[in-house]
Amino acid sequence: MARYILNPRYALRGWQGLPFALWDNAARRADFYPKEQFLLLARCDGMGDIDLDALPEEQCAWLSRMVDAGIIRSCETPAVLRPHQVYRTYPCRYKASAHWSITGRCNFRCKHCLVSAPHAKFGHPTTEQLLDVVEQLAECGVGFVSLTGGEPLIRDDFWQVVDALCAHGIGISTIFSNGYLVNEELLDGFEQRGLFPSFQMSHDGVGWHDWLRGFSGAEESVDRAFALLQERGYRADAAMCLHRRNAHTLRDTVNHLSSLGVASLKVNRIQELGEWKDAAAEVALSQDESLQVYLDYLPQYFADGAPLDLTLDGAFAYERAEKRISFGYERHCERDPESERRLSCGILRTSMYIGPDGRVCPCMSMTVQEEDDAFPSIFETPLREILGQTEFMERCACTVGQIRDANPECKTCEWVEQCHGGCRAAAYNSTGKYYAVDPEQCHFFTSGWYERFKAESEIARYPSDNCGGADGCFPYWTAEEKLPILGVSPKIIPTL
């Protein structure tokens, strides 16, 4: 006989279609199990004995692996699970996180703002509305949020929202901010609550940040914020919007941000959406122009010792810790049925965006499509219904096969096995069709840029089971949910 108990980090959970989940409170995610294994895990409640002699050998070995992984531990005397660990089911399908705009207002006037915050186009929800969203996130088992805007730190009720999230055990992973209001008092407030979120702030080129942000002193304030975060031990990441006037500053900007302790920089050509749609004529770069800027910079980046982790649109990425080069546009998806069941974007399946107007979209870039009924408002339709058997959830689970079926020319393309169809937001915003091909990814392959970046990077092609890319093309999923299986979970889940 033996007695085990679940370690406090873990809890037993279930969602529609996926009732057998182990929630990791530290990683804020769920791992999913076959019924037999989950029921055995549920017996690890600190009270009942398990007759190991009566168990099949493979189940005994599995329990041993769970002990080694720190998920369960043996206990000689009876113990009791903590209240949060007891099995709970949620009335919807699974979402681990939300990227949440808690305001459509901002203290800057950025020329390229996706949500048109200079005009507060999407509004400024009331405190009551925000607290109701927190309740709905908790009801649906959402484990963590990232907070954005507009500028989230301008809200007078910011700490009220943070405290409500904490009260429901919902983590805060990242604060997206322009940096102007990042100060000692703010960081003290987080630390008093036992929170240590990362920060992502934009830096749009040494000497050019103020111009894009429409605010004199914006560059000075974000540099001060980065330096403060480094001093206080917070992780800070940066984003840079590339245009004709700041493209020449890329090298100086990377090195400058590295000196301020910034961990990573993501550079993107500004898309003709939101405010930029009207402001872009003189300074917008074409895709080819931005790709050439990136290609020209790569030798400089490595000559400078790869100062920070770097992502250049979908054309190139480098992770220093792993010394790993990848290409976001390249994710191997072969022509066989198994590959075609892969998710086109794993992040869409596990996350969502909630706008300041309450609209729930698969990601923030889709918020510009205001007339799409598939994206309802959480202020009008309960989140549990939005996360049910809806068109919204079907879009979140879009597969490579669905994209190829909607675009027959893809099946005969020479690049089909390197391509997963591209970004759903880019395809949708460019064509108005959700299952269309991402034209920028298509151009990257068919116009020779892929080979040029490969040659410049001087690396061998990745194996066919490497999906690559930062947005998570996961190789395993359930037939019913098309859900990526994470962590220690088995690769097969029964359909229920």
pLDDT in tens, 381-416: 999 999 998 999 999 999 999 999 999 999 899 999
* Residue type present at position 223: D
SS3 assignment, position 437:
coil
pLDDT of residue 280: 66
pLDDT of residue 457: 84
Would you say 136 and 390 are in contact if contact means Cβ atoms under 8 Å apart? no
Would you say 126 and 155 are in contact if contact means Cβ atoms under 8 Å apart? no
pLDDT of residue 19: 96
pLDDT of residue 489: 32
pLDDT of residue 478: 31
In degrees and rounded to multiples of 5, residue 250 shows phi and psi of: -55, -50
Euclidean distance between CA atoms 112 and 284, whole angstroms: 11
pLDDT of residue 281: 66
Would you say 330 and 450 are in contact if contact means Cβ atoms under 8 Å apart? yes
The pair of structure tokens assigned to 195 is 């929170």
* Residue type present at position 439: P
Euclidean distance between CA atoms 211 and 217, whole angstroms: 10
pLDDT of residue 284: 87
User: What's the start-to-end Cα distance of the chain, in Å?
Assistant: 32
Residues 6 or more apart whose Cβ sits within 8 Å of residue 159: 189
Angular region, 4: left φ>0, alpha ψ -120 to 50, beta rest: beta
Euclidean distance between CA atoms 287 and 449, whole angstroms: 11
Q: Which segments of the chain have a pLDDT < 70?
A: 117, 273-275, 277-281, 459-496
